[in-house]
Structure 1
């Protein structure tokens, strides 16, 4: 016979901001639990590139029991500073078991509770909270599959800095915050950069003496629920293009073009050393400008509602949208793919029907509809747009901890 499985009432999987916030809220309610972390608390932040910073100002770090209290609330923490903040948080909570990866999770035979398989042991739990983060697996689109094998293809978790790439020009595939930030870093370092663009909104970093995030947080923007989106797939839409690097600055297609980045339509395919693009760059830029106008209108509404001076926000200037549809990649050292992330839940959670066609958990108020007592926290758009963010995950953690506490109280 093997070792007797450990019995734990509540297990939280993952010690990032979602898992730690949930642990804090469970502790406040007197719910005994443990947090299992494959590496160290906050370690996922260390997997980002060297110069990575938060895009939201430091004061938006509003985790329950661990808000930002430093001397630079308007600054932007580096990846190591965020990880350090979360490690200190975990130390105060005292519930985290580090170096304990969960390889498999399945319902117990006969119903009621779950079995978690880790390295060399099995844990049984009445309740499980999956808090493994919003960014689990970089998406690598089929369009890059035909790239010549001697050209490096690096995803957003594999990129570290310009010097880490082979010599030569770089094709950046993507349009969100990460793609723009990496493209900017590369071109500033002296690389020739081509960018395969997708549709993403943009807006100035600061207007009317306030940061973009402050305007949006004063609006209903981050309160948007999944049912208010145009389609379920819209949950994968790109965030507003911006950067927190070097104190925070404007970053979008126009600033990149001014630096010398060559903009193309979206990538259709790569055949060896030939990349083909859709002739849709004008439509891509127009879509981004429509996003700009939406955010501008939101800012104006906030200013009027709060009695603030309405800032002057000029229309975007012209941008040359003529672009070839084919590019010879000879002389290119690398392709950097930054096209977003997808979930991994179905790879290790053995529950049929767990996720929808987009890979998001099928749930009601964070609890799986097909697996009672299996909860999720930290999922993008779980309850609202802010569900996975450092200023929003705490509310979801509170709701989930309250639900679990009430359920356990009724069962005793």
Structure 2
């Protein structure tokens, strides 16, 4: 009997499953499809239901990339609005249909509470609500967005001030009357600030650093241009530093058919801009004097994207479009927001991983919280794979049009590993 097989685990006997996939979002489902194609039997464990993490987005949420970029293996978008932008319920429905068509068993309502090495360091032992599972191979596909971050400077908010992070925000009506401070710089922060401003709220945005660009250029969507460029092929080593993996995505929106959305358009709606949150003291939220730096960073990002598009045009033979320089923009920064007028603070400042909260493998992640890996397989625990992680192999690794390639690569590694075990 091999050392990873069933054994007595106290009151329960561990179920034996050679290959387990944890998570039934796009990454886990794509991996399941690719494993089945290669004849690998496996089970998918899902805490709730397929695609349920998308259901937790705010009410008006839409994809930022066009629908036709939903390119899961065996489950690509085939609707009648390829250039539209799905809402959250449509995304969930698509993933539910995709899951229903898979050959493998998907166990809904089966959260994995803990994962560690098996006895003697061989294989893995999973603790689930339905009992322990012993497995030779585990694929962790629990999503790129696991735990919303909260700026440390906001710890001083008085208990009576409503605070909502990006996972808890739903719509403007949920927030108490008064001004709203939106903290963040990426797509979510901009979209929420825009929605609040259009709802008539007084919005102050504590701005961070993010690139921006035009939604459409010369009749083509931004994503079409980016796909023809090296943008989505960038790897961690192409970035200024490993920490840049946490950087904000290009400011844009898919709402109402997709449109430009960045600090300039928000200012045009009456959103007041300031620097990052510095502190909460003396009866106010104080914003740092770094708004100009953040705006300059965004304009520099605009130029970098422009250069990548030009590079892509040269590679594909497409005519280079005219891309103007960013218009002058120097709004008076907000420096102080009195607490007495604040109705709520909404933080959309990105996410961090939760792997070490439930995976007991020393050295699992780097200082940024990303798995330490070689081609998606843990460098410290062979047989433990990751899919759906931002920049796992390249920038598109966690995206709906890129995760399928990573899933296929991981499935190949698993086949090779099982054949030599």
TM-score norm. by structure 2 comes to: 0.96
Q: Given the alignment, which residue of 261, 274, 285 partners 2:271?
A: 261
Residue aligning to 1:158: 168
Q: How far has the Cα of 1:4 moved from its partner?
A: 1.1
Matches within 5 A, 1:212-223: 212-223=222-233
Q: Secondary structure at the match of 1:251?
A: coil
What is the correspondence of 1:330-349 to structure 2 with a 5 Å cutoff?
Answer: 330-349=340-359
Kindly provide the CA deviation profile for residues 51-79 of structure 1, in whole angstroms up to 9, marking residues without a partner as x.
Answer: 00000001111111111111111110111
Distance 2:110 2:161 in 1: 36
Decide whether the 8 Å contact of 1:132 with 1:378 is kept in 2.
yes
1:147 Cα deviation (Å)? Answer: 0.4
**Equivalent residue number for residue 7 of structure 2:** none
Inter-partner Cα distance in structure 2 for 1:272 and 1:177: 31
SS in 2 for 1:59: helix
1:176 aligns with 2:186: yes
Quick check: 1:61 aligned with 2:70?
yes
CA deviation profile, 1:5-25 (whole Å, cap 9, x unmatched): 100000000000000000000
- 5+ unaligned residues in a row in structure 1: which ranges? none
Partner of 2:17: 8
Q: Distance in 1 between matches of 2:283 and 2:380?
A: 46
Is structure 2 residue 184 aligned with structure 1 residue 148? no
Match in the other structure for 1:230: 240
- Counterpart of 1:386 in structure 2 is 396
Equivalent in 57, 82, 91 of residue 100 of structure 2: 91
Give 2:260's aligned residue.
250
Partner Cα separation in structure 2 for residue 268 and residue 6 of structure 1: 51
Partner of 2:194: helix, strand, or coil? helix
- Partner residue of 1:357? 367
Counterpart position of 1:186: 196
CA-atom RMSD, angstroms?
A: 1.1
Query: Is 2:145 the counterpart of 1:135?
Result: yes
The DSSP-based 3-state class of the residue aligned with 1:93 is coil
Q: Please point out which of 371, 382, 399 is paired with 2:381.
A: 371
TM-superposed CA distance for 1:127, in Å, is 0.4
| Partner residue, 1:27 | 36
Output one character per residue of 1:77-103: Cα deviation in whole Å (capped at 9) or x when no partner.
111111111110100004210000000
In the alignment, the residues of structure 2 paired with residue 366 and residue 229 of structure 1 have an alpha-carbon distance, to the nearest angstrom, of 19
How far is 1:273 from its partner?
4.0
Larger mean CA deviation between 318-327 and 139-148 belongs to 318-327
Tell me the alpha carbon deviations over residues 241-297 of structure 1, each in whole angstroms, 9 at most, x when there is no partner: 000000000000000000000000111112374111111111110110011111112
8 Å CA contact 2:273, 2:334 repeated in 1: no
Q: Provide the residue aligned with 1:206 in structure 2.
A: 216
Q: Distance in 1 between matches of 2:35 and 2:201?
A: 49
Task: List structure 1 segments (4+ residues) > 3 angstroms apart after TM superposition.
Answer: none
Query: Any gaps of 5 or more consecutive residues in structure 2?
Result: 1-9
Do the aligned partners of 2:210 and 2:298 also contact (CA within 8 Å) in 1?
Answer: yes
Any idea what SS the aligned residue of 1:279 has? coil
Contact (CA 8 Å) 1:148, 1:272: kept in 2 or not?
Answer: no
Aligned-pair distance for 1:329?
A: 2.4
Cα distance, 1:349 vs structure 2: 0.2
The answer for the alignment partner of 2:26 in structure 1 is 17
1:283 counterpart (293, 302, 307): 293
Whether contact under 8 Å (1:208, 1:310) holds in the other structure is no
How do 1:296-311 residues align onto structure 2 when only pairs under 5 Å count? 296-311=306-321
Matches within 5 A, 1:33-44: 33-44=42-53
Q: 1:147 touches 1:273 (CA, 8 Å); kept in 2?
A: no
Q: 2:211–2:299: 8 Å Cα contact kept in structure 1? A: yes
TM-score, normalization: structure 1? 0.98
Q: Report the alpha carbon displacement of residue 305 of structure 1 after superposing the two structures with TM.
A: 3.3
> Are 2:118 and 1:108 equivalent residues in the alignment?
yes
1:295 equivalent to 2:308? Answer no
Does residue 1:82 correspond to 2:94, yes or no?
no
SS of the residue 2:396 aligns to: coil
Q: Give the Cα separation in 2 of the matches to 1:113 and 1:249.
A: 49
User: Per-residue deviation at 1:314?
Assistant: 1.9
Q: Is the 8 A contact 2:193 2:203 kept in 1?
A: yes
- Paired positions, count: 411
| Aligned 1:308-319 pairs, distance under 5 A | 308-319=318-329
User: What SS is found at the alignment partner of 1:148?
Assistant: coil
Residue 326 of structure 1, CA deviation? 2.1
